[in-house]
Amino acid sequence: MRDHATLVEFMSDPSSYPEPTGSVEVVQTHISWVFVCDEFVYKVKKPVDFGFLDFTTLDKRRFYTEEELRLNRRFSPEVYLEVVPVSLKGGRFILGDGSYVVEYALKMRRISEDCMLHRLLAGGLADEAMLGRVGLHLARIYGGIPSTEEARRYGSVETVSFNVNENFEQTARYVGGPVTASQYDEIRSWSLDFLDRKQAVFDSRQKLGWIKECHGDLHLQHICVDREKIFVFDCIEFNERFRYGDVASDVAFLSMDLDYNSRTDLSKAFVEGYLAGSKDTGLLDVLRFYKVYRAYVRAKVTSFMLDDEGLEPPLKEEAMARASRYYALAHRYVTSED
């Protein structure tokens, strides 16, 4: 379907939905339109190609929408409900009709924005007990995900080295900007040296079954703690290389995010909760390495914003400061003795 503007207009109308809703809030990302109703949320992928993802055909959008459902149901089956077809019949759209399908929407149950972990943290409502529960919860989920032959190859030193080297190749141009030459050199040297010295550790992680089809984007914005319930969402569905890997890399992501927000106490509580539930004591052998990797990836992605000539100066300054903080965090990990 070429003209998505009319589809967005249709999905923005409260009367388009089978369930009564008083309003529809439309949220756009660079890859999706999200339609937030009173009780449910519908998500439609944009027909875009960024190289690392390709949603340009209807078949591809259907496949990745179904993948998003499959993958996220592992974490939050109560939230991720179904893939809903959108048909165009007689010049009008119909949601839930499978006869003349022109698009697909992922239907999710709406969860509380006020209970998102990043908001709880900002409001002083997140404590060690809460993060320990999150760790235990994730340990149970990852414990139920098998380590397949396909997954294990993503844990090899060769594959991990490719990802690490790619980061440094893609950020060399930012030296002298958000990252200093000494930071860049020391983070790179430490990371490559770790890979060289710890071949046996990576081999062991593979053999023991800790390389799995993980979440890939496990940070504060993708976790909701609503009283006793914990919901994890927005697993990466569009790129296997970003999703498959050591469970330690996912654990390191959230741990790093808490460190970035100056809550090392909560970071430690989360990791301890995960270890208690998983019994994966070997995780500690690679946790710092993956925290360096995750901090550097966040620094890299934030640095990319500096290349946007249309970005307003205040936003560019904010991106520069944020990227610098991530580079500094990665550097602190490799130079600290803690």
Domains and their CATH numbers in the chain: 4-110 (3.30.200), 115-335 (3.90.1200.10)
For residue 337, what pLDDT is reported? 74
Would you tell me the crossing angle of helices 157-171 and 181-197 to the nearest 10 degrees? 170
Q: Are 210 and 246 in contact (CB under 8 A)?
A: yes
Q: Determine the Cα–Cα distance for residues 6 and 73; give it in Å rounded to an integer.
A: 30
Q: Determine the Cα–Cα distance for residues 331 and 333; give it in Å rounded to an integer.
A: 5
Mean pLDDT of 220-242: 95
Mean pLDDT of 261-286: 97
Which phi-psi region, left, alpha or beta, contains residue 216 (left: φ > 0; alpha: ψ -120 to 50)? Answer: left
Q: Determine the Cα–Cα distance for residues 302 and 317; give it in Å rounded to an integer.
A: 11
Beta-carbon count within 10 A of 126 CB: 23
Mean pLDDT of 123-150: 97
Q: Determine the Cα–Cα distance for residues 181 and 192; give it in Å rounded to an integer.
A: 16
For residue 126, what pLDDT is reported? 98
For residue 3, what pLDDT is reported? 74
Q: Are 222 and 257 in contact (CB under 8 A)?
A: no
Judged against a pLDDT cut of 80, whether residue 118 lies above it is answered with: yes
Place of tokens 């993980």: 214
Judged against a pLDDT cut of 70, whether residue 188 lies above it is answered with: yes
Mean pLDDT of 127-138: 98
Element containing residue 126 per DSSP (H, E): none
Residues 6+ apart with CB under 8 A from 128: 265, 266, 269
Percentage with pLDDT > 70 across the chain: 99
For residue 2, what pLDDT is reported? 55
Q: Are 111 and 226 in contact (CB under 8 A)?
A: yes
Mean model confidence pLDDT for the chain:
96
Q: Burial, 87: exposed, middle or buried (Cβ in 10 Å; 0-12, 13-18, 19+)?
A: middle
For residue 1, what pLDDT is reported? 52
Judged against a pLDDT cut of 80, whether residue 290 lies above it is answered with: yes
Mean pLDDT of 178-183: 98
Mean pLDDT of 74-93: 96
Q: Burial, 272: exposed, middle or buried (Cβ in 10 Å; 0-12, 13-18, 19+)?
A: middle
Mean pLDDT of 279-295: 97
Q: pLDDT by residue (tens digit) across 295-334?
A: 999 999 999 999 988 889 999 999 999 999 999 999 999 9
Q: Determine the Cα–Cα distance for residues 291 and 214; give it in Å rounded to an integer.
A: 16
Which has more confidence, 237 or 51? 237
Return the DSSP state at 115.
G
For residue 52, what pLDDT is reported? 84
Q: pLDDT by residue (tens digit) across 241-254?
A: 889 999 999 999 99
Q: Are 144 and 116 in contact (CB under 8 A)?
A: no
Give the global pTM: 0.92
